[in-house]
Amino acid sequence: MSGSVFLLLLAGTLLCGLLFHTVSHNEAGDRTRTKRPNFIIILADDIGWGDLGANQQAGQSSSQTPHLDLMAQQGMRLTDFHSPASTCSPSRAALLTGRHGLRNGVTHNFAVGSVGGLPLSETTLAEILHQGGYYTAMIGKWHLGHNGPYSPTNRGFDYYLGIPYSNDMGCTDLPGYELPSCPPCYPGPQILHNSCYTKVALPLFENRTIVEQPLDLWRLTQRYTSTALNVIHTARERGQPFLLYVALAHMHVPLSPPSYAPHPSEGGVYAASLREMDGLVGAIKNASDASDKENTLIWFTGDNGPWEQKCQYAGSVGPFLGKWQTSRGGGSAKRTTWEGGHRVPTVSYWPGRVPANSTSSALLSGLDIFPTLLSLAGVNPPSDRRYDGIDATDVLLHGKETGNEFLFHPNSGAAGKYGDLQTVRLGRHKAFYITGAAEACGGSKGRQELHDPPMIFDLSGDKGEETPLDPTTEEYKEVDERVRRWREALLYDIATDQSVSTADYATDQSAAPCCDPRHTACRCLTLASACCEEAGLWVILLEVSTGD
Active site positions, annotated: 88, 143
If one counts every other C-beta atom within 10 angstroms of the C-beta of residue 265, the result is: 13
Rounded CA separation 252/140 (Å): 12
Q: What is the DSSP letter of 264?
A: -
Q: Is the omega angle on the peptide bond into residue 37 within 30 degrees of 0, that is, cis?
A: no
Query: Are 283 and 290 within 8 A, CB to CB?
Result: no
Quick one: three-class SS letters along 120-186? CCCCCHHHHHHHCCCEEEEEECCCCCCCHHHCHHHCCCCEEEECCCCCCCCECCCCCECCCCCCCCC
CB neighbours of 380 closer than 8 A, spacing ≥ 6?
A: 20, 374
Helix (H, G, I), strand (E, B) or coil at 104: helix
- The greatest distance separating any two alpha carbons of the chain, rounded to the nearest whole angstrom, comes to 82
Closest CA to 522 of 498, 545, 495: 545
Work out whether strand 38-44 and strand 296-302 pair parallel, antiparallel, or are unpaired.
parallel
Query: Are 465 and 430 within 8 A, CB to CB?
Result: yes
Query: Are 65 and 274 within 8 A, CB to CB?
Result: yes
Can you list the positions of beta strands (E) in 231-295?
Answer: 242-247
The helix-helix angle for 88-97 and 369-377 (nearest 10°) equals: 30
Q: What's the sign of the alpha-carbon dihedral 534, 536, 539, 540? A: positive
Q: 180 to each of 184, 442, 443, how far by Cα in Å?
A: 13, 11, 12
Rounded CA separation 64/349 (Å): 19
Q: Is the omega angle on the peptide bond into residue 76 within 30 degrees of 0, that is, cis?
A: no
Query: Are 198 and 522 within 8 A, CB to CB?
Result: no
Q: How far apart are the first and last CA of the chain?
A: 68
Rounded CA separation 516/111 (Å): 19
Query: Are 269 and 185 within 8 A, CB to CB?
Result: no
Q: 158 to each of 137, 155, 191, 208, how far by Cα in Å?
A: 6, 9, 38, 11
Q: Which residues pair with 242 in a beta bridge?
A: 135
Rounded CA separation 204/206 (Å): 7
